[in-house]
Chain A
Amino acid sequence: AQSVTQPDIHITVSEGASLELRCNYSYGATPYLFWYVQSPGQGLQLLLKYFSGDTLVQGIKGFEAEFKRSQSSFNLRKPSVHWSDAAEYFCAVGAHGGSQGNLIFGKGTKLSVKP
Chain B
Amino acid sequence: GAGVSQSPSNKVTEKGKDVELRCDPISGHTALYWYRQSLGQGLEFLIYFQGNSAPDKSGLPSDRFSAERTGGSVSTLTIQRTQQEDSAVYLCASSLSGGSFYNEQFFGPGTRLTVL
Contacts and interface: CB of A to CB of B under 8 A. Distances in A.
Interface string B35-59: 1000011111100101000001001
A101 B109 contact: no
Contacts of A108: 42
Contact of A43 (B40, B100, B103, B107): B107
A27 interface: no
Contacts of B13: none
B32 to A, nearest CB: 11
A4 B102 CA distance: 19
Interface residues of A, number: 26
B56 to A, nearest CB: 5
A16 to B, nearest CB: 29
B109 A105 contact: no
A49 B105 CA distance: 12
Nearest to A9: B40
B3 interface: yes
B54 to A, nearest CB: 11
Given A41-B109, A42-B109, A43-B108, A32 B101 contact: yes
